[in-house]
Structure 1
Amino acid sequence: MSYLPSLFATWLFVYLLLIGNPMVAQRLSAGEYLQDIKKEIPLPDAAGRQVIGLYHVKDQPTVVTSQGVFAWEGGKWQHLLIAPNILHSRQIKESGLVWIATPEKLIALNGEEIILPVLSNGEKIQCLEPASGNRIYLGTNQGVYVWDGTWIQEELSRKIPVTSIVEDSRQRLWVASLDGLWLKERGKWTDMDEHMMAVGHERKYYSLVSENDGKDIYFSSAWAIGRISEDGNHWAARGNDGLPFGPATFIHQGADGLWLGTQQGAIHHTETWRYYAGKRWLPSDEVTAVLSLENGKTWIGTNDGISEISRQPMTLQTKADSIEKIIDARHNRLGLVNRSKLRTPGDLSTSYMDNEDNDGLWTACYLIAQCYRYAVTKSPDAKEKASRTFEALERLETVSGISGYPARSYARAEDTVTPSRSPHPKVWHPSPDGKWQWLDDTSSDEITGHVYSVSLYHDLVADDPGKDRAANLIDRIVTHILDNDYHLIDFDGLPTRWGIWHPDSLNHSPNWMFERGLNSLQILSFLKTAHRFTQNPRYEQVYQTLVDTHGYLENARFAKVTAPFDISHSDDILNFFPYYNLLRYLPEDHPDYPVYKASLARTWQAVRSDRMPVWNVFASALLRMDADIQTALEEIHAFPIDLISWRMENSHRWDLRKDYLAHRTPRDQADRAIPSQEGNISRWNTNPKLMDSGDGGLTEDSGTYFLVAYWMGRYFGYWE
């Protein structure tokens, strides 16, 4: 079952590539990868929030804001210049001298000042560019001015709205405008769009920068980013090439690759494209400046402050440990593990836990992670957390006072609970001993989570008394379902909304067409699990009746509903979990084993493009094949450290194509999965192809999704 040799070869190739690449500052140790980490850099009050430029001045990171110039020295800001209403800035590469533009004059950090030329009515400064021979160029919304001891307006064939100006190694002047790309050579202006540039640029250019000692000119146009090279090695990238968005209003070629600033986020390009937008990464999306620092750190300036994004060496174990600390601090409510809520968006100091309708399922997922963790590490902490979490799942059943009926959630009797917002009414009830209250209308979600997680606890963690408790809990749950004619029966004596596995419903009711295969798979798994632990012949007899008389095995063959039908990502957990015990507890020579294996293979193919590491690990382990393990590894590497559910918007992107066959909701979705660091943080039961997601910083996920994928993968030997 191990794919360590192939993974090691892949890792070794990447490792050798990285350490041999001068663009990568860090050297990685065995098991390390580069993790994106964001930190906000606070600005002094006098600076305001609007960043105009970022530079290295005398080896110190220096920021130009709308209110002044400030250098970062010894972990503190030192003001170099206070000048309200700064509009633009530029640095002379050779000397490092920074010039700024105010509405009245240009000011250099060495104290030199130049009064601006008299502009015509409505004319505004758009950019400046210090050049050779102590000249300074100004671009306005009507043309170009040059300072050479006095101000002279360049004579172009017409007025053009200038956006950026650079000088190349041959002292030629390049001017980007919203009416073409212009080149001045030997005193003559050439409209490059009339002679060379592709019509698709639409004569709209937004930024320029010279690199490679002025031999390369990078530009941004209406639909592309490109490079004009002196050696003829030109280059262009569009959305089809992976460019996430544009136009880029700022271009920065650093030692760590190409950075672009846009009105909706920052873009980093090395061998791949990375997109940073939303408050997970930036104070605001309008990027105005980028500065590369040492040790893989980059400052990104915006209209609302500075973010530091660093690519730091990390191991998956370190990430898992950090997520455990987050859960310990903010995600354990009386043993139930779930997301937390934030009273102030994005402010973790305002975090609090509230009851949720599926506390049982999400707590079961945490137990799964701890079971695999303990099996791999034999950590006392993992065993304690697994035992504590099992007790929470056990309490969900005992508080209801109904044998075999786990509640959705529980709280202390004196706690104030939040009413369910589900369209299907859910009611809180007191426990028989009066110490607790519990939430009714339990669904198949809780039962599926209980059976899988508790069986893992029995097999991988529990001592003998714990094994008895785990087996008895599963026995009571499955007995409850059978004693009540394949239903979960609530406090009122009626079936719950989603707790139904009866043949009449699954096989004959159109209301249960969607769940026919899914719920058939579940009940067969429940029965095999209960029989494994109890050896009660009743479970085997009922299993055979459902298979032989009611066709549940054939139903299970097609458990996952796929296109052209409605696709439910929230049901993926309920699909995958039952396979585990069926393929683990059934002998391989059992006649039903190949059917379940084929069903799992079909289910995995249906979700393969979602790039969900948990399901790739499930399929690899149970099918004994490489079900895109490398993809799973890439995704858990990319999984963000920041677990806040920020609003992440991608519907404007150039590199994502819209899939017009919407599933479940009419919200826009892409034809491929959004990378986890660029999309929704909670991916268990969400569509990873949704263009726009997140709740604006109102919740923090528990990170259990990552923990299950990581520890299950380690258990099966796919990574360390």
Structure 2
Amino acid sequence: MKLILKACIILIILSNTAIAQRLYNTSEKLWKPQKDEAFLQEIATTIPTNEPVVSVAETNETCFALMSGNIYALKSGKLNKDNSAPAGVTELKNKNGDIWALTDNGIFRFQNDRWKKIDDKKYVDLCMHAGKLHAATSEEIYRLEGDRFVTTKPENGYYSSNMTMLMEDGTQLHDDPVRLGPISKIESYSGTLYVLRPGKLVLFDGLIVNEDFIDWGLLPSKNTRDMLSFGRRLFISTDRGMGVLQGAALKTIKGEEGLPVENTTCLERGFDQDIWIGTERGAVRMLKDEWHYFGADMWLPDNKVNDIAVGNNVVYIATEGGLGVINFEPFTLQKKADFFERHLEEWGHKRLGFIHTVYQKDGEWVREISDNDGGHTAPYLAAMCYKYAVTGDPEARKEAVESFNAMLFLEKVSPIDGFFARSIWSTTGDKDEMGRHGSGGLPAKWYKTADGKWYWKGDTSSDEVTAHFYSVSLFHDLVAKGKEKEMAKQHLEKIAAYIIDCGYTLHDMDGKPTRWGRWDPEYLLRPYGYVDRGVNGLEALTFMQTAYNLTNNKKFDDSYNQLIKWGYAANTIRQKNVFPPENLAPWDDNLAFESYYTLLRYEENPALRSTYLRSLERTWEVKRMEHISWFNFAYGAITGNDCDLEQSIKHLREWHLEPIEYNFRNSHRDDLFVEPGYTSYEGGLKAISPREKNITRGSRNAVALDGGQNGRRIMEPTGFIRDYWMARYHGFLEAPETNDPELTSVKRRTEQQFGAEPYKGLEKPVFY
């Protein structure tokens, strides 16, 4: 019986894979499928404090933090004062597995769960050198022997590197003693001790204080802060970038080389051949070929980083406003998609089959009845279509059907066939009020149903129509069965017919075109609507071709040909506006790609396909520099061409797991340069990683540097879920090779309420 069931599942998956191959007849694929390999996903916890955390150290999975001279231990997410620790501490250090506390009147070691004073001197820094712990005062370096520090100062004093002081027998005579200090930091590099003075790097070989060992280069600034030895390099943090000693050459790392913030404060070795850099504006992780930036409020309680400690796959960041903790947990992209699916359930994003943003109202999380409930639901409907086509999972099909019925509800709630609502408000179950604003800040248009149970929002625009054709056509092609297929066809047929009957506009209840429901030549081919002629023309062509393909009704074919006669097809070539700045609308890019993805599934005429593909090629070339997976996957699926697939998968891995919209800032960064090999046609300074900004919808803008909602809004992460299953469906991404559920899924949490309470109002009607 088990073998039969297994065979049936395989047949379902193979069957649906065959459907995937029929969506686009690309004879050659110039990309190689990527593996969904395990990676380390960052997960942030912030612990705000009333006082600055000035130093931090970690040992045996215990973190110690320093505030106002007192030591605190981190336990269960809270900082608890260690009353057994010394007071008046100035800095914490982890050396050779022990925690050391530096004070003005001595140094203490934490070992075997107790603090012990080792020496009375005031030490400024520690390092391991030649297998021994070395400690520095402001003028001298000592070596730990047992429980006692012994000086490394030569009996007859230090020698100078000044050759004029060298006698023939190798001795030196000094009028004034040679100083090793003033010492601020010490470090062991390439078997030698190095001393960092304020603004000066010195080599100390045990006898000679060498100030003349650098053959090439200078420090980027005299304002030096910290020093770290890592392999063949010695790093020095300054307020104008990092100095890097390699052999006898002193080089500089600045924004041009990828350093996000040049005003650096501290350095710490990471856990995976990486280096952590504290700055005045956040923390930076430096890997071999890339840089990761972590700022407040998303990752840290404050931007000014005072110190960093690293444990096993965890980083502790001491800031002026508290302690930031970043854990690195093994994930696959499939696990991340499952994490976000769980989030939708736990945080109350779902209602009546729609997907909603959640926001804070009077201290309570509530679902937003938006200006575009259908458009915000469409990515999730598409995601579940892809997921069902890939896996045959009945739960995915159930979710797809539920969201499809929500899309139907938007049309059924209106008394006019083919005219559908932006959103629907329940008189019994919704805590959010009916929005007062409509398109472009115009007054909202709300209508009450005949039975008085619902209100629905009119003034429907091109955004919603495009979303319906994109997602419902996918449902028709990949999921729908029996009556569902007929309902999907009828839904799109009625909308397309109403647009034609209204003269290629969308009439509201007053019989007049809605603000943005315009595809007529009187609008698009005249100055008033000229800026929209490309994208709106592309949309109109998509509506008519899709309706004709699904119904074979000549009315839609005739309308499609009429649009072509008006020049709409030719106008699509330059549909993507790149100037002036006020004409750049990232949501239009989303509408364009939803249209390309739908239209080019159905258009078979070689001449017209050539025109639309030229449009797609031009548009994608503009969007390439942003590395957004949705645009890349759509382009690759349609054309079979190389679509920057490696960057797309990297983009998905860099999504953080926090859909709460905290404030983020990147405009201050020193690395705002377009990546080599790409061109910014729209004037964007840099493609900002998803790690470094808020989660956004399909109309993403990777060049937006700043933003946020003060943590008072929670964005639905449907974009990731759609992009992941789209990649799996089209073969861009392979299934994880592991069967370990800890790497492919997350456990459901049934007894916790995180966001908006579950919807308890009227249920939507049944339509078939």
Q: TM-score per shorter chain, which class? A: 0.7 to 0.9
Q: State whether structure 2 residue 445 is matched by structure 1 residue 440.
A: no
Tell me what 2:497 maps to: 479
Structure 1 residue 131 displacement after superposition: 8.6
Question: What whole-Å deviation, never above 9, does each CA across 1:365-392 have from its counterpart, x for those lacking one?
Answer: 2211111111111111111111111111
Choose from 603, 607, 624 the match for 2:640.
624
Q: State whether structure 2 residue 333 is matched by structure 1 residue 332.
A: no
Tell me what 2:743 maps to: none
Tell me what 1:310 maps to: 327
Q: State whether structure 2 residue 719 is matched by structure 1 residue 714.
A: no
Choose from 34, 41, 49 the match for 1:36.
41
Once residues 686 and 134 of structure 2 are traced to their aligned partners in structure 1, the CA distance between those partners, rounded to angstroms, is: 50
Q: Conserved in 1, the CA contact under 8 Å of 2:128 and 2:188?
A: yes
Q: 1:68 to 1:33 in 2, by over 3 A?
A: same
Q: State whether structure 2 residue 394 is matched by structure 1 residue 380.
A: yes
Q: Conserved in 2, the CA contact under 8 Å of 1:258 and 1:270?
A: yes
Q: 1:55 to 1:534 in 2, by over 3 A?
A: closer
Structure 1 residue 626 displacement after superposition: 1.9
Q: Conserved in 1, the CA contact under 8 Å of 2:192 and 2:204?
A: no
Q: Output the amino acid matched with 2:391.
A: T
Once residues 133 and 381 of structure 2 are traced to their aligned partners in structure 1, the CA distance between those partners, rounded to angstroms, is: 68
Question: What whole-Å deviation, never above 9, does each CA across 1:338-391 have from its counterpart, x for those lacking one?
Answer: 32114599xxxx532111112221112221111111111111111111111111
Q: State whether structure 2 residue 266 is matched by structure 1 residue 241.
A: no
Q: Output the amino acid matched with 2:38.
A: Y
Q: Which has the higher mean CA deviation after the structures are superposed, 423-432 or 129-138?
A: 129-138
Q: 1:54 to 1:406 in 2, by over 3 A?
A: same
Q: Conserved in 1, the CA contact under 8 Å of 2:620 and 2:635?
A: yes
After the TM superposition, which residues 452-491 of structure 1 pair with which residues of structure 2 at under 5 Å, given as runs?
452-491=470-509
Q: 1:408 to 1:95 in 2, by over 3 A?
A: closer
Choose from 235, 241, 250 the match for 1:218.
235
After the TM superposition, which residues 399-418 of structure 1 pair with which residues of structure 2 at under 5 Å, given as runs?
399-414=413-428, 415=430, 416-418=433-435
Q: Conserved in 2, the CA contact under 8 Å of 1:206 and 1:247?
A: no
Tell me what 1:500 maps to: 518
Tell me what 1:567 maps to: 584
Q: 1:135 to 1:308 in 2, by over 3 A?
A: closer
Q: 1:394 to 1:363 in 2, by over 3 A?
A: same
Q: Output the amino acid matched with 1:90.
A: K
Structure 1 residue 55 displacement after superposition: 3.2
Tell me what 1:100 maps to: 102
Q: Which has the higher mean CA deviation after the structures are superposed, 574-583 or 438-447?
A: 574-583
Q: Conserved in 1, the CA contact under 8 Å of 2:304 and 2:319?
A: yes
Once residues 585 and 182 of structure 2 are traced to their aligned partners in structure 1, the CA distance between those partners, rounded to angstroms, is: 50
SS of 2:93's partner is: strand
Tell me what 2:759 maps to: none
Once residues 134 and 710 of structure 1 are traced to their aligned partners in structure 2, the CA distance between those partners, rounded to angstroms, is: 49
Structure 1 residue 396 displacement after superposition: 1.1
Q: Conserved in 2, the CA contact under 8 Å of 1:200 and 1:223?
A: no
Tell me what 2:614 maps to: 598
Q: 1:60 to 1:429 in 2, by over 3 A?
A: closer
Structure 1 residue 129 displacement after superposition: 4.1
Structure 1 residue 73 displacement after superposition: 8.2
Once residues 40 and 270 of structure 2 are traced to their aligned partners in structure 1, the CA distance between those partners, rounded to angstroms, is: 19
Tell me what 1:26 maps to: none
Choose from 523, 538, 544 the match for 1:527.
544
Structure 1 residue 171 displacement after superposition: 6.7
Q: Conserved in 1, the CA contact under 8 Å of 2:545 and 2:556?
A: yes
Tell me what 1:86 maps to: 89
SS of 1:300's partner is: strand
Question: What whole-Å deviation, never above 9, does each CA across 1:76-132 have from its counterpart, x for those lacking one?
Answer: 9793734555332334x3583502225x66544443276677xxxxxxx9x444798
Q: 1:690 to 1:5 in 2, by over 3 A?
A: closer
Choose from 164, 178, 195 the match for 1:174.
195
Structure 1 residue 409 displacement after superposition: 0.8
Q: 1:4 to 1:524 in 2, by over 3 A?
A: closer
Once residues 46 and 569 of structure 2 are traced to their aligned partners in structure 1, the CA distance between those partners, rounded to angstroms, is: 58
Structure 1 residue 157 displacement after superposition: 9.9
Q: 1:172 to 1:364 in 2, by over 3 A?
A: closer
Tell me what 1:202 maps to: 221
Structure 1 residue 274 displacement after superposition: 1.5
Once residues 728 and 643 of structure 2 are traced to their aligned partners in structure 1, the CA distance between those partners, rounded to angstroms, is: 15
Q: Conserved in 2, the CA contact under 8 Å of 1:356 and 1:420?
A: no
Tell me what 1:274 maps to: 292
Choose from 60, 67, 70 the match for 1:68.
70
After the TM superposition, which residues 113-128 of structure 1 pair with which residues of structure 2 at under 5 Å, given as runs?
127-128=124-125
Q: Conserved in 1, the CA contact under 8 Å of 2:573 and 2:612?
A: yes
After the TM superposition, which residues 342-421 of structure 1 pair with which residues of structure 2 at under 5 Å, given as runs?
342=360, 350-414=364-428, 415=430, 416-420=433-437
Once residues 402 and 575 of structure 1 are traced to their aligned partners in structure 2, the CA distance between those partners, rounded to angstroms, is: 27
Choose from 228, 235, 243 the match for 2:245.
228
Question: What whole-Å deviation, never above 9, does each CA across 1:529-573 have from its counterpart, x for those lacking one?
Answer: 11122222111112112212x111111232222346632211012
Question: What whole-Å deviation, never above 9, does each CA across 1:179-224 have from its counterpart, x for those lacking one?
Answer: 443455667656569x757356132211113456xx8643113333
Structure 1 residue 437 displacement after superposition: 0.5
Choose from 705, 710, 720 the match for 1:696.
710
Q: Output the amino acid matched with 1:38.
A: I
Once residues 626 and 4 of structure 1 are traced to their aligned partners in structure 2, the CA distance between those partners, rounded to angstroms, is: 8
The alignment's TM-score, normalised by the length of structure 2, stands at 0.78
Once residues 33 and 224 of structure 1 are traced to their aligned partners in structure 2, the CA distance between those partners, rounded to angstroms, is: 33
Q: State whether structure 2 residue 666 is matched by structure 1 residue 647.
A: no
Structure 2 gaps of 5+ residues are: 1-25, 143-148, 159-175, 735-768
Once residues 96 and 619 of structure 2 are traced to their aligned partners in structure 1, the CA distance between those partners, rounded to angstroms, is: 60
Tell me what 1:579 maps to: 596
Once residues 360 and 282 of structure 2 are traced to their aligned partners in structure 1, the CA distance between those partners, rounded to angstroms, is: 25
Q: 1:685 to 1:354 in 2, by over 3 A?
A: same
Q: Conserved in 1, the CA contact under 8 Å of 2:43 and 2:329?
A: no
Q: 1:317 to 1:423 in 2, by over 3 A?
A: same
Once residues 352 and 280 of structure 1 are traced to their aligned partners in structure 2, the CA distance between those partners, rounded to angstroms, is: 22
Once residues 216 and 630 of structure 1 are traced to their aligned partners in structure 2, the CA distance between those partners, rounded to angstroms, is: 30
Quick one: percent identity of the two aligned structures?
29
Q: Which has the higher mean CA deviation after the structures are superposed, 70-79 or 639-648?
A: 70-79
The alignment's TM-score, normalised by the length of structure 1, stands at 0.83
Q: 1:197 to 1:643 in 2, by over 3 A?
A: farther
Once residues 60 and 686 of structure 1 are traced to their aligned partners in structure 2, the CA distance between those partners, rounded to angstroms, is: 38
SS of 1:32's partner is: coil
Q: Conserved in 2, the CA contact under 8 Å of 1:651 and 1:692?
A: yes
SS of 2:441's partner is: coil
Structure 1 residue 175 displacement after superposition: 2.1
Once residues 401 and 162 of structure 1 are traced to their aligned partners in structure 2, the CA distance between those partners, rounded to angstroms, is: 81
Structure 1 residue 260 displacement after superposition: 1.2
Q: Conserved in 2, the CA contact under 8 Å of 1:426 and 1:439?
A: yes
Q: Output the amino acid matched with 2:53.
A: Q
Tell me what 1:21 maps to: none
SS of 1:7's partner is: coil
Q: Output the amino acid matched with 1:633.
A: I
Q: Output the amino acid matched with 2:236.
A: F
Q: 1:298 to 1:557 in 2, by over 3 A?
A: same
